Amino acid sequence: MAKGAIIYKTREEIEIMRESALLVSKTLGLMAAHIQPGVTTLQLDKLAEEFIRDNGGVPGFLGLYDFPNTLCISPNAQIVHGIPNDTPLENGDILSVDCGVLMNGFYGDHAYTFEVGEVDPAIKKLLEVTKESLYKGIEATRVGNRIGDISFAIQSHAEAHGYGVVKELVGHGLGRVMHESPEVANYGRRGKGKKIQNGLVIAIEPMINMGTAAIEQLADGWTILTRDRMPSAHFEHDVAVIDGKPEILSTFDYIYEALAAK
């Protein structure tokens, strides 16, 4: 995945990347409006592809490492890299939707775990804590810290709630390539790893399991799911370091607006 030296971005490049990130944000907002019991993940995938192309982007995952679709859609025990299919969503499901866009030569890549209908309170808590751990990681993304400080912030928050932190899959640098250096693990030690500098742009993406951290992969060669088949959540933002501080290029606001309008 993420290989080579970190490619720091100029302010101009970060502004172009913000547009890519926001097209992903708007696509996820569209998903929020359509996710409900009875809808299939393949229907969501088609909507997303059309929306991205209509808005001047290209689906970032489609064909990347030969992935077959626009969205990675991972319900319930699936963690990431689920392939859209024609199974209707059911009341009480959770659904992680990860979306990538390539526009003006730069990628956007972020994700949200949605609730389908009425979700069990214990699962709602998992979503809440996973999202909080993302923001703890973002808060640590500043000059003076190292990548390990981000990892530590995510891990310690999730584990304080007794959840399992997925270790095999990680966040990453983002730019003209979807997966650049550095790797941003969701577990780690304070003060370890590369120093955080201005111009760093990373996708931070905790993947947190309600049960144990252990994972499996399905025979489709893509889908990653929990070994104990308990639910897993995934939230991701694109974050740039500007003037020493983290700036979130993506936003969940389109999602919140769509959910409020439902």
Considering only residues 222 through 261, tell me which ones interact with Mg ion, judged by CB under 5 A: 236
Rounded CA-CA distance 207/172 in Å is: 13
What mask, x for binding Mg ion by CB under 5 A, covers residues 50 to 89? Answer: ----------------------------------------
Minimum CB distance to Mg ion, residue 59 (Å): 12
Residue with tokens 């929306």: 51
Amino acid identity for residue 194 in this structure: K
| SS3 state of residue 220 | coil
- Between 109 and 115, name the residue whose CB sits nearer to Mg ion: 109
Q: Give one word for 185, left, alpha or beta, with left for phi > 0 and alpha for psi -120 to 50.
A: beta
* Contact predicate 194/188, CB 8 Å: no
| SS3 state of residue 161 | coil
- Between 13 and 109, name the residue whose CB sits nearer to Mg ion: 109
- Between 90 and 167, name the residue whose CB sits nearer to Mg ion: 167
What mask, x for binding Mg ion by CB under 5 A, covers residues 189 to 218? Answer: --------------x---------------
- Between 61 and 163, name the residue whose CB sits nearer to Mg ion: 61
Q: How many residues bind Mg ion (CB under 5 A)?
A: 5
Give the C-alpha distances (Å, rounded to integers) separating 26 from 33, 50, 100, 196, 216. 11, 13, 12, 29, 31
- Between 94 and 111, name the residue whose CB sits nearer to Mg ion: 111
Extract the tokens encoding 260: 């409020």
Minimum CB distance to Mg ion, residue 236 (Å): 5
- Between 60 and 148, name the residue whose CB sits nearer to Mg ion: 60
* Residue 149 contacts Mg ion per CB under 5 A: no
What mask, x for binding Mg ion by CB under 5 A, covers residues 94 to 113? Answer: ----x----------x-x--
* Contact predicate 46/212, CB 8 Å: no
Amino acid identity for residue 152 in this structure: F
For residue 160, what are the contacts with CB-CB under 8 A and spacing of at least 6? none
| List of residues contacting Mg ion (CB under 5 A) | 98, 109, 111, 203, 236
